Every structure is written in structure tokens, then in C-alpha cells.
Amino acid sequence: MSKLVTIYGGSGFVGRYIARRMAKEGWRVRVAVRRPNEAMYVKPYGVPGQVEPVLCNIRDDASVAAVMQGADAVVNCVGILNELGKNTFDAVQADGADRIARIAADQGVSTMVHVSAIGADQDSDSAYAQSKAAGETAVLTHMPEAVILRPSIIFGAEDQFFNRFAAMTRLSPVLPIAHADTKFQPVYVDDVAKAAVAALLGQAKPGVYELGGPEVKSFGALMQQMLEVIDRRRLVLSLPGPIAKLVALGFDVMQFVSFQLIENKMLTRDQLKNLEADNVVSDGAKGFDELGIRPVSLASVLPDYLWKFRPSGQYNELMDSARNLRNDL
């Protein structure tokens, strides 16, 4: 019988790419999610019955253990950018990671991959970064042979970074951002999935790998590149620190007074703290080179999914050609 991997958060942005690649490797894939009925799109990744979404709440021991039964390997992709209800940073990214690793050790699972993030730091002012660091520590405590992946900002068709800012350009001539000088090393989501698969197949030594793409750019430069791809002229406005704090506070208050019915998907005070530090691969860190993976560039991928934000969508180049022809006449 083929091997089985349980992927916690396997229907999410990163998890679905790992699930697809593991299915291609011939593994059975158990996708552990809170709402299996909303994750049916993972089933066609393999032959009938090979990829199955299953119900799991990572805040509950019994739930985590049930979906891990019989697994040869586990992957933890669960993460949040904003706290809502019981899904706090500590509950999800620290305690959740601890629970998965502890139960994996109890069940004798031999292989674990944990997706964390560059910037994980127990001494950070950001609760997000602190919880990521706590999750890593817990995983290595229970599963010392685990592979931990720390990607920089991840881009791809379903990302919440370029898609969000590109959508904003439809509504405003100004694109406001905070900490425009902060540097990122964007990494393609499928390259992160390749790294996870390499670890699951035993092609990576245990330890921490920091994953960044081939380019390091400032937040502001990334927005300019995005604007070129979607063929829109917008003023990229770097918000002064005090103004950015007021904006983040306003969005957080809106979420609070609405009893979290209105989620802050724009900018939280904790995200603002994260933006104060560069998000790039550390000097001397293990990364794609050690995994034998050559990461792809932004320019080779962004047009594939941001075209929908162009003024004429998929017909943008055709419209430009027609305008040029009319001008020539």
C-alpha cells in the first residue's frame, strides 16, 4: 500500500500545493481542515480516493490524533495573519504546532515538516513572530528530526499579498503602504511546496531552512513592479509611522466593535510591528541550495495571475495594440 501523509491546513495557500505534489509522488494524502466541504477542490489532485479532505480542529488533541492515525508523515501548514475568536496566534501557531508534533511523536510518525516564517523570533515585539518561534521550539522538542521551513513573503495565484494590493488599485489612484523601505525576498508558493516534498521524501537533512526567491526588493519596489504588470499608474504613498499606526488602530477597532463580524484584512497593529524588520534570508542559513531547488522569479509568475487586474483584463495587450494602430493611422 502507498504511504500516507496528513497535511494540517492542506487546503490552504501553501498546503494545497504540497498536497498536489505528494499526490503526484503516489502518496495518499489526508487533508486535515476545519471545513472539509469547502476543500473538495483538492480531491482531483489524485486518482479517486487518493486525496481526501477530513475534519480536524488543531486545538483539540482527539481531533488531531484521529486524522493522524496510520500516517507515515505529517505536515503542519496551519497559520493565521490575524486573530479571530479562539483562533489566536498562541492557540494556532504555538499550541497547535506543539499538539501536532507531540501526537506525531506519540504515534511514532517518522517524518514531520513544519511551515513557519522568516522573522520567527521569541524576542520580537510582534505576537505573530513570537508564536511562530514558540511553534518551532515545540516542534523540535517533540520531533528533533523535523524539517522546519521559513519562507519569506509567499506569492502565487491565491496569495493575499499581490492580489490584495492589485485589487486596491481598482478603487483608488493612491496605493498607501507602511514601511515602504522594508525588504522582502518573495518566494513562489510551488517552490515552498517542492521544499516540503523534498523533506517528506527524505531528500533534506533535519533542521531549519530559510526560503527566499532570487530577488530582494523593498516593499515599495514590489508595489511598483506589480503596477507595471497590471498596467496601472498609481501613486505609491509611504505612510508616516504615526499615520500608519492610526490606520492600523482604526481597522483593529472596527473589527472589535463589530464583534469580529468585520475582519481586519487590511493592516493590523501586529502586522505593522512585523513590517519594521526586513524579511529576507539570513546570512549562512540553509535554504534552496541545500535542497537542490532553483527558485523562480517574480517576473516569470506575476503576469500569469495578475492579468485580471489590468484595465482590460486578458484583452489588455489587444487593446494596446489597437490604440497603437489607431495612432499610426
pLDDT value of residue 166: 97
Q: Over the stretch 224-239, which tens digit does the pLDDT of each residue have?
A: 999 999 999 999 999 9
Give the lowest-confidence range in 39-43, 206-210, 317-321.
Answer: 317-321
Rounded Cα distance between 39 and 321, Å, is: 41
What burial letters (b/e) apply to 279-317, b meaning 16+ CB within 10 Å?
bbbeeebbbbeebebebeebeebbeebbbebbeeeeebe
Task: Extract the C-alpha cell encoding 258.
Answer: 463589530
152: CATH:
3.40.50.720
Under the banding of pLDDT at 50, 70 and 90, the label for residue 324 is low
pLDDT above 70: percentage of residues in the chain: 95
Looking at residues 47-73, what average pLDDT do you find? 97
Backbone torsion region of residue 114, taken as left when φ is above 0, otherwise alpha when ψ lies between -120 and 50, otherwise beta: beta
Looking at residues 92-108, what average pLDDT do you find? 98
**Whether the Cβ atoms of residue 268 and residue 244 lie closer than 8 Å to each other:** no
Which residue matches cell numbers 515552498? 192
Q: What stretches of 90-240 show up as alpha helix (H) in DSSP? A: 96-106, 127-142, 162-168, 189-200, 219-230
Residue 318 inside a domain? The answer is no
Q: Over the stretch 244-276, which tens digit does the pLDDT of each residue have?
A: 999 999 999 999 999 999 999 999 999 999 999
Backbone torsion region of residue 28, taken as left when φ is above 0, otherwise alpha when ψ lies between -120 and 50, otherwise beta: beta
The domain tally of the chain equals 1
Residue 308 inside a domain? The answer is no
Residue 240 inside a domain? The answer is no
Within 10 Å of residue 110's Cβ, how many Cβ atoms?
12
Residue 13 inside a domain? The answer is yes
Under the banding of pLDDT at 50, 70 and 90, the label for residue 329 is low
Which residue matches cell numbers 505612510? 239
Q: What stretches of 74-188 show up as alpha helix (H) in DSSP? A: 89, 96-106, 127-142, 162-168
| Residues recorded for the chain | 329
Q: Which range marks the domain in which residue 97 is found? A: 4-156+186-212+279-295
Residue 94 inside a domain? The answer is yes
Rounded Cα distance between 167 and 188, Å, is: 20
Query: Rounded mean pLDDT of the chain?
Result: 95
Tell me the pTM. Answer: 0.94
Q: Over the stretch 211-228, which tens digit does the pLDDT of each residue have?
A: 999 999 999 999 999 999
Residue 220 inside a domain? The answer is no
Rounded Cα distance between 10 and 57, Å, is: 13
pLDDT value of residue 237: 97
Residue 269 inside a domain? The answer is no
Rounded Cα distance between 42 and 245, Å, is: 39
SS3 282: coil
- Helices 96-106 and 127-142: crossing angle, nearest 10°? 10
Residue 226 inside a domain? The answer is no
